[in-house]
Amino acid sequence: MTRMNTRYLLEMYQRRLCHCILLSRKFLIGFVFGIVSTLLLSKLLVSPCHPQPSVEQDVLPSHQIPLLTSKVSEVKKKRDRILCWVITSPQTHSRAQLIKQTWGKRCDKLLFMSSIKDNTLPEAIPLPVDDTYANLWGKTQEALKYLYHHHLDDADWFYKADDDTYAVMENMRHLLSHFNASMPLHLGFKYQHPKVQQGFTSGGSGYILTKVAIRRFVETALARSRNSRGKLATNSQCVLDHQGPEDLNLGICLEELNVTAVDSRDERKVERFLPWSLEDMICGHLKNPGFWYLREFSYYPLKQDMKCCSPHAVAFHYVKDYQLKVYEYLIYGLRLYDQGR
C-alpha cells in the first residue's frame, strides 16, 4: 500500500470517528434531556396545584371566619345553591307574587312561609302558627323545622327575608364564595345586644344560615326545649316561646349553639345588608328621628351619606310593593350609554 493510500485511509478514519463522536454527543444530550423532562412532568402531574385547606374545628375563637386564601379562590369552585325562604302572610301574597317576578327568580329554590295554601302561590307553605307579627318568633321556628325536615339537602345556604325585602342574588353569591358552607355560620347586618356577645343579624334585610346552623337549631335547641320548659339549659338565655323579637332570640340561641355571626361587610368595611330603605340609609341621619337607634345599636360603626352602603349591596329592607319593580329596573334594566360605540 502506497504512502498516499495510507494517508487517505487515515483521513477517512478520522472523519468517521469524529462523526461517531458527534452523534454520540447528540444522543447523550437528547437522552439526558428526555429523562429530566420526564421527571419534571411526572412531578407536576402527581402533586396538586392548590391543596384545599382543612378545617380542624368548627368553633372559631373569634367572631369572624377568615376569608378563603387567594390560592383556593383561584380554583374554580362548585356553585353553591341558595334556598330563599320569605316570611309572608295571606294578606301580602300579592307582594310575594312580585318577589317571584323580580329577585326571587334568581334563587335556586324559593319558598314563602305563610299560614294557608294558595293555588295562585304554590310556593306558599302553610305553617301551623297564629299568623301575627307578635308571633313571628314562633313562625320562624316552624319555618326552620320545615326546612330541616323537607329541604335541608336542597341547598348549601338558606336565606331568610321579609316580603318587603329586595335581594341582589349575584352579590350574595359573591359574598358567600368567601365562606365555607360546611361551617356553622350566619350572615347579615349585625346589631349589638348585652345578651349576645357576637351580635345578632337583623331579620329585616334578612340573614343567611348554613345547613349546619339549621341542624343545630332543630336537633339541639328545639329538641332540648321540650325537656327544659322552653330553654336550652337551666342558665340558657335561648327562649323558645312563640312570642318575642325574632332576630334577637335567634341570635341568642345561635351563639349558645356555637354558630358564628361573621362580618358580612365588604372589603372597605361598608355594610352589604341594609336593614332600612336605601333612602333612610343615605339620608336617615338628616331626616329620620329614629336613626339614632340604627346608629347606636349597630355592631359596627355606620358610615353616612353616600358612603353608607356597599356598591356590592346584598339586600334592601322596607321596599314598597311598587319599588320591587323599580329596583329590578335600576339594577338589571338600566344601562349607561357607551359613547365609544
Q: Is pLDDT of 46 > 70?
A: no
Give how many domains the chain has, as a whole number. Answer: 1
User: How far apart (Å, rounded) are the C-alpha atoms in residues 175 and 232?
Assistant: 32
Residue 257 lies inside a defined structural domain of this protein = yes
Residue 71 lies inside a defined structural domain of this protein = no
Q: Is pLDDT of 57 > 50?
A: no
Residue 275 lies inside a defined structural domain of this protein = yes
User: How far apart (Å, rounded) are the C-alpha atoms in residues 72 and 77?
Assistant: 8
| Residues spanned by the domain of 304 | 78-331
Q: Is pLDDT of 231 > 60?
A: no
Residue 233 confidence class, pLDDT cut points 50, 70, 90: low
Residue 14 lies inside a defined structural domain of this protein = no
Question: For the chain, what percent of residues have pLDDT higher than 70?
Answer: 73
Residue 52 lies inside a defined structural domain of this protein = no
Once rounded to an integer, what is the mean pLDDT over residues 236-247? 90
Residue 103 lies inside a defined structural domain of this protein = yes
Q: Is pLDDT of 196 > 50?
A: yes
Residue 229 confidence class, pLDDT cut points 50, 70, 90: low
Residue 64 lies inside a defined structural domain of this protein = no
Residue 144 lies inside a defined structural domain of this protein = yes
Q: At 113, give phi and psi (nearest 5°).
A: -90, 105
Cβ(139)–Cβ(88) under 8 Å?
no
Report the CATH number at residue 214. 3.90.550
Higher pLDDT, 14 or 259: 259
137 class by beta-carbon count within 10 Å (0-12 exposed, 13-18 middle, 19+ buried): buried
Residue 50: the pLDDT is 35
Where helices occur in the chain by DSSP H, the ranges are 3-46, 70-74, 93-101, 136-150, 169-176, 211-216, 223-225, 246-256, 278-287, 291-297, 321-328
Instruction: List the end-to-end C-alpha distance of the chain, in Å, as a whole number.
Output: 90
Cβ(193)–Cβ(199) under 8 Å?
yes
Q: Is pLDDT of 190 > 70?
A: yes
Q: Indicate the range of 13-22, 186-195, 205-214 predicted with least confidence.
A: 13-22
Q: Is pLDDT of 325 > 80?
A: yes
